């Protein structure tokens, strides 16, 4: 039986695949649209910020880093392993544990871990849509990042 942690593990695997698809779309263009590159770097930066909030001993990085495509790729690969490790160490009750943190403006908040996970996943999907629109606007063809397409792929292609 699939647990909620297993479902999050699969969603983060999808997120990694979708981010790789967006990156491949940008690499296929010469040059890649600047806004799109910055949005993909922001997906990486935002995940770093949320991980720093979830793992109190990890320093917070910039939410809007100016990264090259190569730097984005390296960071995406690192993030994949971090989310996997985080979920491997977690037990179901911890998903509803409240995490206290300050937003980038310094305001204090407290949010359940599961809601943070949902936010990270939805946030990436939102910006990947912006990236796809920028690619089309600049004459390119974005790779699909649809969840259903990922589900239909054989396990070894995910």
* pLDDT at 158 (0 to 100): 87
* pLDDT at 53 (0 to 100): 94
Instruction: Give the integer Cα–Cα distance in Å for 107 and 130.
Output: 28
Cα-trace Rg, the chain: 16
- Does any domain span residue 155? no
* pLDDT at 56 (0 to 100): 82
Instruction: Give the integer Cα–Cα distance in Å for 24 and 32.
Output: 10
Q: What range does the domain containing 103 cover?
A: 4-150
* pLDDT at 157 (0 to 100): 87
Peptide bond between residue 31 and the one before it cis (omega within 30 degrees of 0): yes
- Does any domain span residue 156? no
- Does any domain span residue 158? no
CATH number, domain of 25, equals 1.20.120.450
- Does any domain span residue 51? yes
* pLDDT at 59 (0 to 100): 67
* pLDDT at 1 (0 to 100): 58
- Does any domain span residue 11? yes
- Does any domain span residue 27? yes
- Does any domain span residue 56? yes
Query: pLDDT averaged over consecutive 10-residue blocks of the chain (158 residues)?
Result: 90 97 97 97 96 82 94 95 95 96 92 98 98 98 97 91
Give the pTM: 0.94
* pLDDT at 107 (0 to 100): 94
Structural domain tally of the chain?
A: 1
* pLDDT at 60 (0 to 100): 73
């Amino acid at each position: 039986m699939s647990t909620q942690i297993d479902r999050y593990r699969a969603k983060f695997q999808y997120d990694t695949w979708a981010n790789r698809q967006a990156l491949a779309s940008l690499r296929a263009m010469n040059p890649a649209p600047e806004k799109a590159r910055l949005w993909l770097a922001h997906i990486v930066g935002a995940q770093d910020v949320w991980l720093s909030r979830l793992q109190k001993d990890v320093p917070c990085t910039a939410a809007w880093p100016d990264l090259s495509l190569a730097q984005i790729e390296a960071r995406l690969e690192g993030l994949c392993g971090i989310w996997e490790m985080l979920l491997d160490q977690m037990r179901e009750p911890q998903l509803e544990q409240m995490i206290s943190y300050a937003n980038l403006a310094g305001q204090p908040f407290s949010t359940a871990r599961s809601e943070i996970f949902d936010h990270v996943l939805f946030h990436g999907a939102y910006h990947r849509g912006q990236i796809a629109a920028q690619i089309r606007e600049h004459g390119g063809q974005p790779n699909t990042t649809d969840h259903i397409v990922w589900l239909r792929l054989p396990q070894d292609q995910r």
